Amino acid sequence: MFEVQYNDINNFDLHKILLEHGLIVIRNACLEVDDFEELTNKMGKSLVTTKHVLNKARTIQELSNKGLFSNGDVGWHNDWSYGRGNYFGTILHNVKNGHLSPTWFCDTSNAPKDLKNIYKNSIGKYYPPADLHNLCFTEKQLALLKKQKITRPFITNHHITGEEILYCSINTIQENKVDLKPFENWIEENAYMHNWQDNDVLIWDNLKMIHKRVAFEGERLLWRTQFII
Ligand SMILES: [Fe+2]
């Protein structure tokens, strides 16, 4: 994890830091929608989407207890596991009450060799879990995702850095016949818990950063953009 103050970000190559560290925490970023869009444009080409969008370019989505992902548990997963294109970058901004539920991250490029060996011949098939269908996707998007039939080997190499990663998005894998318990146990033991502060922005690489959050009560609002790494 790499931590930086928002005032200092112009002194860093955020894209390079992201590839190196997998997770960037930007503190004290008091942003309007336009500022957030400018930050996302620095990172790469953004995904254009449909539901809960905030800007004209349709690249910023609102995540709230009333909308995307609601307020229940969201188990270990990697964003964009079920999509095509390298939209593995996520930028998330704490707009209101992020602290009501921390986010846990684990860098699975650090998985030990013996754990990787268990899964060396396994392949995961990905599709959004049923409880997210109505909240996050249109019928058309779901039909497209189904047609894509995304599969990903558990042992994969990062398309830019080349590093070996143990990749399995536990919450979005379909028809799985592999025992994921050893993987999940290792993640739980090696996770970093991010306690959200006001005006935090997190940027992470979903190829290596599996993450989760637990259920919460109250109003919580974040902005999110997916971008190509
Ligand atoms: Fe996520």
The pLDDT of residue 225 is above 70: yes
pLDDT-derived band at 9 (thresholds 50, 70, 90) equals very high
Which residues have CB atoms below 5 A from the ion given as ligand 1?
Answer: 79
Residue indicated by tokens 């080349």: 162
CATH of the domain at 90: 3.60.130.10
Q: What is the pLDDT of residue 216?
A: 86
Contact predicate 46/36, CB 8 Å: no
Q: Which residues contact 96 (CB under 8 A, 6 or more apart)?
A: 219, 220, 221
Q: How far is the CA of 76 from the centre of ligand 1 (A)?
A: 8
Q: How far is the CA of 55 from the centre of ligand 1 (A)?
A: 20
Q: Which amino acid is at 57?
A: A
In tens, the pLDDT along 30-62 reads 999 999 999 999 999 999 988 889 999 999 999
Q: How far is the CA of 100 from the centre of ligand 1 (A)?
A: 16
Domains: count for the chain: 1
Q: How far is the CA of 50 from the centre of ligand 1 (A)?
A: 17
Give the percent of the chain with pLDDT over 90. Answer: 78
- Which of 164, 41, 22 lies closest to 88 in space, CA to CA? 22
Which range marks the domain in which residue 29 is found? Answer: 2-228
Predicted TM-score (pTM) of this structure: 0.93
